[in-house]
Structures are given as C-alpha cells and as structure tokens.
Structure 1
Amino acid sequence: MTLDELVGLSGYSKTRLSELLRGKGYYPTWEITYSVVRALDVPVGPLRRLWKVAAKEADKDAVWIRKRISDVPPGDGDIQPVDHQGLWQIMWQPYTAYAQAFLQSESRARQVAGETFDILWVIWDEALASPDTPRYAWELLRKKVLARTPTREPHGHPDLRAAAFLTVGQAQIPDLAERLAHIEVFVKFFDAIASLPPDQMDITVLRYLCGIHPDAIPGIVGLPPAITHTLDHHARGALNGLFPDTNTDTNTDTDTDTDTEE
C-alpha cells in the first residue's frame, strides 16, 4: 500500500501519517493510530492494549489515555486465531513463571506475557511462517523479559540476585544468621545462572526456578528434546563445577505464584 492510498483510506493528511509511521515527534493519539490499524486490517484489540502500554511508557496520564480511547468507537470484536488461542492457553503459565523469575513482581510478569501474546496476534501470519512457531514465540518473550530486567556490569548479564530471597529453602531456616549465610551463597549461585549461555540459562530457570517438568521444557522453548537435554546437562555441569555442594533440584525452587490467567 502506498502512502497516498493510506491517506485515502484513513482520512488523515500525508504529513500526519508520515510522522506517525516514522515513529518520531509527538505520541500519536489512539484516533489516528486506529485509522491506520483499520486501513491495514490489523487486529484492533491487541493494538489498543499495546498502544495503552506504550502511552504509559511515554508518560501519558490515565485520564489522557481514557479520553483518547473514548474518542473512537469500540468497533466489532476481533476474532482470535484458534491456533494463537491454543498457544496462549498452553504457554501462559510457563511464560509468566519465567518472567516472574526475572522481574519478581507477578503483575509485571503477567503484563510482559500479555504484551508478548498481543504482539504475536498482530504478527501471527509471520509467526506461523517461521520455521518453528513455538521457538519464534519464545524468543519474543525472552526479548521482552530481558529488556525489563536489570543487568549486572561489566558483562551485562541479567541480574537474578533478588530471586535468592525467594527460595523455599532459605524461607524455612529459622535462624537469621544461617538464613543470611544461605542467601549469600545463593546470590552468587543465581548470578552464575544468569551468566550461562542464553539457552542454558532459559532451561535452568524454567526447570529449577520455575519448577517446570523437564519433559515440558522442549515444547516451551521450541527446541528438540535431545538438544534441550544436552543444554541442561552442560548447564548443570557448569554450575556444579562452581558450587559442588549445591543440590540444584531441591534448594533453588522459588516461592512464586504461577497460576494461569483468569
């Protein structure tokens, strides 16, 4: 579609649309964004939710956001692709669990997972055309999560140290001094997890911090079971070499709520 065709369909001037499509200048109202969304036949619901998130990040207040949305009729409901809905139902729990391991807050984890599924809905044809849709979706989630996770200098790997305060093992230690010593060890241990290669880190977080069964992990990360097993083996070897007295299976379970979305 040319810009002139978009002008005719949206009802906005070429100057306004050019500025909108460049992504520069003022934050666009929902009204002009909606006009382009409809002209391009993009699902309205997920784009509206993404627009609201981005408006908050652009420091727009809640009143401004509500007013801009109310300026546009709600329109007909979008039809969610059945296969996208299936992916959402299967992956919501592990996606939010993974996000919460890095972000700590359940609400932030749910927001990132929700944004990921909204983006996937908008670009669902592209996701289906990829060599492996679950892998495509997982890499998008990981990118969204890590973009919001503090990093550790000088190497820039994710900062997982806060998760040490949420382990079940330390919570069950009655003596404060012993608990603090336990936390100090696991701060270093979780820092070592974050410094693993990305796929090894993902599998370690899902299995040992989120408590997800190893048989389910290949489908979540979009990798063959044999490769996932090898990555897990290498990650365990690296961590056991640094912390030979640490029992990964029992001591690093984190006390997180990973209920599925209602």
Structure 2
Amino acid sequence: MTTPFESPAPAPGPTPVRPGRKLGPIADNVVSTHRAWLGPTRCSYITSGRTLSDLSDHVLLAKSKLSELLRGVGNYPRWEVIHRLSLALDIPNWPLYRLWRQAALDIGKTREWIERSSEGTSATTRSGPPLEHDALRHMMEVDYHCYAQVFLRDEPCKAAVEDTFATLWLSWDDALASPDIRRYAWNILRATVMAKATYRDNLPEMENAVFDTVALRGHRSSAGRMAQVTESLELFKAISRLPDAQLDVMVLRYLCGATAEKASYLLGVPLAAVRSDERHAYRFLQSALTLPPETEGPAT
C-alpha cells in the first residue's frame, strides 16, 4: 500500500528515437543552480521525442546554439530564449524562471541584465504547482528550513528551500515515478543546501547553528556561554565529518529536535535505518569527543 507521497514507478516505456547526433553531457563548469533547471529541461527534451531541428524553429535559435544551450556551453542564455523553449517543451514557467534567475545571479549577471533579458515575456506569471506538490511543501517546508539553517544564513537558507521546491516542481514526473517522493525531495534539498554551504577542509561549516542551540540559550553568564560555544564548535566540527546519511540524521535529531519517526518520514527511509545511522554516528562522536554513554536521543 502506498501513501500519497509514495508512488510506484511506472513501467518503463520505449526511449524516443530521434535522428542526428546524441546530445552531449552537461559541461563540468556549470554551477549547481544552472544544473537545477538545465537537468529537467534536458529530460523534457529527451522524453519529448522532438529533434533539435524542430525545436530550433520554435525557439528561434540555430541548432548548434540550441545544442550548446542544452549542454550549458557558451554564454548564459537570455530568459526570452528559455521562455520559448519552455513553451515548446511544456515546462512549468514559474519554477524554471526562478532557477534560471538564481543561476544568473550566481554567475555574476546583474539584475539589470536579468530584467532586460525578461522583457516581453511572462516571466512573472505564476501558475500553481500540482496539488500533491503543494501538500508536500506544506508538510515539509518548516523542517526543510530548520535543516538548511544549520548550514546557511537567513537569505541563502530561504533561497535554498525555495530552489528545492522549484526543482522538485520541474522534475515532478520523475518524483512521482520514484520509489518514495519524500526521499526524492530530500535528495534535492540536501544537494541544494550543500551547494550553497561554505566549506573548510572539504567539510560543510555548521558554525551558524552553534549560536542557536538550546543548550547555549540556557546559559546566562558570559563564561557559561563562551564555554558552550567552544564545546558546540567542537561537536559540530565532528558531526560535519560524518557520512551523509549519519550527518542528516544527527542534524534532524539533535539540532532540529525531530523524533526518530519524524526523521524517518522526512528522509523517506525506514525507521530502522535512522536508528542504525544514529547509533553509528554517536559511536563515532564518542571516539572523537568526550560524550556520555549512548542514549536514545533528544526526543522519542
């Protein structure tokens, strides 16, 4: 039996066969926010069965330039071009525009360039997402924000959550076809947050969370607060060294205050996997720091 957020994968259909050279891979230097909209756009093109020659007539772009656009090669495309492409491939306009705009800012495009690039299009027309997408967002958004806030400050944190749901909207058909839509959505959130995080020694920095811990707020004296800051910095540095799955569980359990059951739901993984990851993580932290014997966690 499936929940509203667990959809069985459909039977694979035949891959569309099109004449001409196969579309090359996305270029290595493409930034994460560019990939966030380029990947789903390429998928829409591939599953459409249409050819570059056919699309070039609708997009008003030479076939060679269209091929470069779909690989992330060359100059960053103007929105008017992407807008025509979205109409030709029936791609949701609003999430595509949000991610296109964010990627433009990330590579150094000015807001004036973005506005000029969008003139004469329906860039700001916002149609509603699928009802299931809206329901998923309603149930997950607060917890996603809590997770993102461990690694990012206010504005990047909000942008990461917005980008997550925009990317999920663009790839909604793939999400529905996945074994568990919650796991699919979490993977997008994690990738988005980690792409925006800052790193030290190839590990994500978590210092933002140090100054918002429950333990820290409990100290009234300056000496107590400073001691807690030092202790928390060491703990969070150790947590950042954990494998991905264990890190996520520890962030949700110990920094966001989620129960094991809630963490299981958010991650889209079995409860047994959450408990196992928590045990392994705690044993690692015990070996790295002076911690009390393993407990059941902050909430059960």
Aligned counterpart, 2:173: 125
Deviation, structure 1 residue 79: 4.2
Q: Quote the offset at 1:28 in angstroms.
A: 1.0
Residue pair 2:94, 2:124 contacting (<8 A) in 1 also? no
Give the stretch that moved more between structures: 186-195 or 78-87: 78-87
Superposition TM-score, scaled by structure 1 size: 0.86
Q: For residue 121 of structure 2, give the secondary structure of its aligned residue in structure 1.
A: coil
Alignment of 1:51-90 (within 5 A): 51-74=100-123, 77-90=126-139
Q: Pick from 216, 225, 228: which aligns with 1:179?
A: 225
Kept after mapping to 2: 8 A contact 1:162/1:187: no
Bigger share in helix: 1
Map 1:28-177 onto structure 2 (within 5 A).
Answer: 28-74=77-123, 77-103=126-152, 105-153=153-201, 156-177=202-223
- Matched position secondary structure for 2:248: helix
State the SS of the aligned residue for 1:216: helix
Cα displacement (A) at 1:245: 4.5
Q: What's the TM-score once normalised by structure 2's chain length?
A: 0.76
Q: CA deviation at 1:145?
A: 0.9
Backbone CA RMSD of aligned residues: 2.2
Equivalent residue runs for 1:195-214 within 5 Å: 195-214=241-260
State the match for 1:239 in structure 2.
285
Secondary structure in 2 matching 1:195: coil
1:217 alignment counterpart = 263
The share of aligned pairs that are identical, in percent, is: 37
Whether contact under 8 Å (1:161, 1:188) holds in the other structure is no
Unaligned runs of 5+ in 1: 251-262
Q: How far 1:195 sits from its partner (Å)?
A: 1.2
After superposition, the C-alpha distances for 1:150-198 in whole angstroms (9 at most, x for unaligned) are: 2231xx2222234223323223423323322221111111111111121
User: Quick one: structure 1 residues 60 and 246, their matched pair in 2 at CA, closer, same or farther if it must change by over 3 Å?
Assistant: farther
Give SS of 1:22's match. coil
Q: Confirm or deny: 8 A CA contact 1:189 1:243 kept in the other structure.
A: no
- Count of matched residue positions in the alignment of Structure 1 and Structure 2: 247
* Contact persistence 2:80–2:119 (CA under 8 A): no
